[in-house]
């Protein structure tokens, strides 16, 4: 069982690493920070606002919470699906280079946002 002790948005006074995407949270950025207790151990979770939003938008949250691995898998899967839908020819081409993870994440994010706006 995972318990959330504290949860809130804070401003980064030093650079952190996002627990979801593994990218840097730069100084001055607002990010989500939470403290959890699982199996008797305390740990901190830090994430970009964007990554926390993605977890919501893609309904990643399970009973045990979302790990960085789950996040990675979900984003790369979703990216693949979106790309297939938009440009199947390109997606099937062996010359197509899959962009780095942070770009995939941004693509998925922007795509979902655009969809939300046209609803
Ligand atoms: Zn992140």
> How far apart are the CA of 89 and the centre of ligand 1, in A?
30
Residue ranges and CATH numbers for the domains of the chain are 2-118 (3.30.1740)
CA distance 50 to 37: 24
In sequence order, the 6+-apart residues with CB closer than 8 A to the CB of 6 are: 33, 34, 35
Angle at 53 between CA 26 and CA 66, to 5 degrees: 95
Give the pLDDT confidence score for residue 119 in this predicted structure: 67
Give the pLDDT confidence score for residue 61 in this predicted structure: 81
Total residue count of the chain as it appears in this document: 119
> How far apart are the CA of 15 and the centre of ligand 1, in A?
12
Per-residue pLDDT tens listing for the chain (119 residues): 678 888 899 999 999 999 999 999 999 999 999 998 988 999 899 999 999 999 999 999 876 778 999 999 999 999 999 988 988 888 788 787 889 999 999 999 999 999 888 86
Query: Could you tell me if 5 and 35 are in contact, meaning their C-beta atoms sit under 8 angstroms apart?
Result: yes
SS3 call for 3: strand
> How far apart are the CA of 21 and the centre of ligand 1, in A?
4
pTM (whole model) above 0.75: yes
């Amino acid at each position: 069982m995972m318990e959330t002790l504290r949860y809130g948005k804070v401003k980064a006074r030093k650079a952190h690493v996002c627990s979801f995407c593994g990218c840097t949270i730069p100084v001055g950025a607002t990010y989500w920070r939470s403290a959890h207790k699982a199996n008797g151990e305390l740990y901190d979770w830090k994430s970009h606002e964007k990554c926390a939003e993605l977890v919501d938008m893609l309904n990643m949250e399970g009973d045990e919470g979302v790990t960085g691995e789950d996040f990675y898998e979900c984003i790369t899967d979703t990216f693949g699906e979106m790309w297939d839908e938009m440009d199947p020819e390109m997606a099937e081409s062996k010359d197509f280079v899959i962009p780095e993870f942070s770009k995939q994440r941004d693509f998925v994010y922007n795509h979902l946002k655009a969809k939300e706006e046209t609803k």
